[in-house]
């Protein structure tokens, strides 16, 4: 996956896009490589098509994936995953859902306002109470839709 990230990032940077996530998994139709991209203001179908064309060519030339696969390029959607510390800084004051590998302060599930980051700790407020969650303890984090 790291080789794919390294191949994708220059393509995306040249178009003002950000690599959000990379998934490679077996599905009913076969192996699928999913590339999630974003930018301030969101992405459109033309962005996804252009990245798919350019990145597809690079991946084929470099032969980074030995078996056949389907390349999908898409937006991360409204419940975008938060992976890097920069993501937790960027989406400060948004509603988030976080699941941890092991309990942090007695719980594994957190849904609240993202306050930001202090060092390696992600700060979340739930019902007026603050929680400091070590980034390495986070199994999954996503933006949550606010109604």
Which residue spans within 59-104 are E strands per DSSP?
70-74, 95-104
Q: Hey, what CATH class is 2-74 in?
A: alpha beta
Residue that the structure tokens 């990230």 belong to: 5
Q: How far apart are CA 70 and CA 73, in angstroms?
A: 10
Q: Is the pTM of this model over 0.75?
A: yes
Maximum separation of any 2 CA atoms in the chain, in Å: 53
pLDDT of residue 29: 86
Domain ranges of the chain: 2-74, 85-143
- pLDDT over 90 at 55, yes or no: yes
Per-residue pLDDT reduced to its tens digit, 3-38: 999 999 999 999 999 999 999 999 998 999 999 999
Q: How far apart are CA 93 and CA 18, in angstroms?
A: 21
CATH of domain 85-143: 2.30.30.100
Average per-residue pLDDT in the chain? 94
């Amino acid at each position: 996956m790291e080789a794919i990230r390294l191949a994708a990032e220059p393509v995306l940077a040249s178009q003002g896009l950000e690599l959000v996530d990379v998934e490679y998994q077996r599905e009913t139709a076969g192996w699928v490589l999913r590339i999630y991209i974003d930018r301030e203001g969101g992405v459109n179908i033309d962005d996804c098509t252009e990245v798919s064309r350019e990145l597809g060519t690079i991946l084929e030339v470099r032969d980074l994936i030995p078996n056949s696969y389907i390349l999908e390029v898409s937006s991360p959607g409204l419940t975008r995953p938060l992976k890097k510390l920069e993501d937790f800084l960027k989406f400060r004051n948004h509603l988030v859902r976080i699941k941890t590998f092991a309990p942090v302060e007695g719980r594994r599930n957190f849904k609240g306002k993202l306050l930001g980051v202090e060092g390696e700790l992600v700060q979340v407020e739930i019902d007026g109470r603050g929680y400091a969650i070590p980034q390495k303890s986070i199994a999954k984090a996503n933006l949550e839709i606010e109604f």
